[in-house]
């Protein structure tokens, strides 16, 4: 007679424990469902937030890397150019477009410097609008751009060209349009060669950009930009003073270029020796790292809320398991009396708790995925599809919660005295 091999014995025991656990859960579906509500809420919260943050991080990384991985961004504010200035930043004088050729000339590691002059969205008492025929848009940004800017940031044109040096010197009323504003003003037809009104003046489109790939919450600010030559912007919009310099380093020399740019800007801005810089220099990697730190803080706060839900769910599962052990005391006694080992009883109830919590995790992952799909239908570029690591983490966490919550009730079941259990009414 052949003896059963150890591996087959273990597999048979696990299969039996799993079958008994499933039968027990299905016998009380309402009670089991209520027990996993906390687990479901916790897993939905963690997976959905992790998915959103991961998607945003990838989009933000692409957004800033599109502006050039070899570039250093110089601005007199510490924050983002379109954000409100801090109290310290307000006292800093803006950078000047005239700094660009001096920096390029004096920095051996610096290949070129592009200029972006930000025009206030509201001039005087009214917002700037653009109009082409019957179409009008106020969802736009106006910027003065140097002729070399698009080469510095590596922007791709759908049609047309960037500005020429002559157009810059002549203060020509020409424009390069971002993809979104071009579509708003001219629809599906090409905007190149067409004219439109901006702030009461007529401009002619010489270039239209391809849609940018990087986004932030489904939008890329560069797609809404109406770019005109820097000198034209300074003449037409004298309130425009905030200047961003895009300093492009030679390949492999970005860090050295950053040091050179800092030294040159301190000289140009007459910063006294020993005083801190009155400007900020950033790279795409630094900005992405800042977003990562902010995202990690948001994730930790979310995780704390999710832990509360998971603890509540764990308590619910533990409570269900205690009730289950109490109701099945005689059954446990019979099993122990006919030769079942205590570790088999322990294994059965641990399986039951893990399956119960794992079911909650599965429901949570499915709900998070459905919510992500719903968000994508409303906003197609919104990044909320759960990545594989978030799904795996959610399921693993839910099973771990079940094992922890069910361990004490399972040990209690395994420790029952068979004689006393058989007497239980």
Record the tokens describing residue 391, joined without a space.
């799904």
pLDDT at 367: 87
Residue 21 burial by CB count (10 A; 0-12/13-18/19+): exposed, middle or buried? buried
Record the tokens describing residue 144, joined without a space.
């003065």
Task: Name the pTM for this structure.
Answer: 0.69
Torsion of CA 352, 354, 360, 363, to 10 degrees: -100
Given a cut of 60, whether residue 200 has pLDDT beyond it is yes
Average pLDDT over residues 89-112: 92
pLDDT at 182: 94
Backbone angles phi, psi at 416, to 5 degrees: -65, 145
Q: What is the pLDDT of residues 8-61, one digit of tens each?
A: 554 654 565 556 556 656 666 666 677 777 788 888 888 887 777 777 777 666
pLDDT band at 168 (very low <50, low <70, confident <90, very high): very high
Residues 267 and 233 in one domain: yes
pLDDT at 237: 92
Residues 306 and 267 in one domain: no
Dist CA 253 CA 70 (whole Å)? 8
Residues 218 and 334 in one domain: no
Given a cut of 50, whether residue 1 has pLDDT beyond it is no
**Residue 249: beta bridge partners?**
110
Are the CB atoms for 103 and 261 separated by under 8 Å?
yes
Domain-embedded: residue 2: no
Expressed as residue numbers, the domain containing 19 is 10-62+290-423
Residues 297 and 338 in one domain: yes
Record the tokens describing residue 171, joined without a space.
């203060």
Residues 236 and 380 in one domain: no
Residues 241 and 343 in one domain: no
Record the tokens describing residue 224, joined without a space.
């809404």
Q: Give just the sign of the alpha carbon dihedral 66, 216, 59, 253.
A: positive
Residues 86 and 185 in one domain: yes
pLDDT at 4: 47
Domain-embedded: residue 248: yes
Q: Tell me what the pLDDT averaged over the chain comes to.
A: 81
**Residue 157: beta bridge partners?**
209
Record the tokens describing residue 324, joined without a space.
């289950």
- Where helices occur in 66-130 by DSSP H, the ranges are 87-90, 99-106
**Residue 115: beta bridge partners?**
245
Record the tokens describing residue 309, joined without a space.
């839900």
Q: What is the pLDDT of residues 321-349, one digit of tens each?
A: 887 777 777 777 777 777 777 777 787 77
Structural domains of the chain, count:
2
């Amino acid at each position: 007679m052949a003896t059963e091999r150890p591996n087959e014995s273990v597999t048979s025991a696990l299969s039996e424990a799993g079958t008994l656990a499933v039968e027990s859960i299905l016998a009380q579906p309402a009670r089991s469902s209520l027990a996993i509500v906390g687990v479901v809420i916790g897993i939905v919260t963690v997976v959905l937030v992790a998915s959103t943050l991961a998607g945003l991080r990838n989009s933000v990384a692409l957004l800033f890397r599109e502006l050039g991985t070899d570039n250093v961004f110089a601005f007199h504010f510490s924050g983002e150019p379109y954000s409100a200035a801090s109290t310290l930043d307000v006292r800093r004088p803006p950078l000047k477009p005239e700094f660009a050729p001096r920096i390029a000339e004096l920095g051996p590691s610096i290949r070129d410097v592009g200029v972006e002059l930000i025009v206030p969205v509201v001039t005087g008492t009214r917002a700037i609008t653009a109009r082409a025929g019957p179409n009008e848009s106020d969802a736009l940004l106006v910027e003065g751009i140097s002729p070399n800017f698009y080469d510095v940031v590596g922007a791709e044109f759908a049609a047309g060209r960037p500005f020429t040096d002559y157009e810059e010197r002549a203060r020509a009323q020409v424009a390069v349009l971002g993809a979104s504003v071009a579509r708003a003003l001219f629809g599906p037809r090409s905007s190149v060669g067409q004219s439109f009104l901006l702030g009461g003046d007529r401009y002619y489109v010489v270039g239209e950009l391809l849609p940018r790939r990087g986004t932030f919450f489904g939008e890329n600010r560069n797609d809404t930009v109406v770019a005109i030559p820097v000198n034209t912007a300074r003449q037409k919009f004298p309130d425009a003073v905030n200047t961003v310099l895009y300093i492009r380093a030679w390949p492999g020399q970005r860090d050295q270029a950053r040091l050179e740019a800092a030294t040159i800007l301190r000289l140009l801005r007459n910063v006294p020796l020993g005083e801190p810089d009155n400007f900020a220099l950033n790279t795409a990697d630094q900005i992405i790292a800042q977003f990562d730190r902010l995202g990690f803080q948001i994730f930790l706060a979310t995780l704390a809320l999710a832990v509360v839900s998971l603890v509540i769910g764990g308590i619910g599962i533990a409570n269900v398991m205690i009730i289950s052990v109490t109701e099945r005391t005689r059954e446990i006694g019979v099993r122990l009396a006919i030769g079942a080992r205590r570790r088999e009883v322990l294994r059965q109830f641990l399986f039951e708790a893990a399956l119960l919590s794992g079911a909650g995790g599965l429901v949570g992952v499915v709900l998070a995925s459905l919510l992500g799909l719903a968000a994508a239908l409303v906003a197609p570029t919104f990044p909320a599809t759960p990545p594989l690591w978030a799904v795996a983490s959610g399921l693993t966490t839910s099973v771990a919660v079940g094992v922890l919550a069910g361990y004490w009730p399972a040990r209690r079941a395994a420790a029952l005295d068979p004689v006393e259990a058989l007497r239980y009414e």
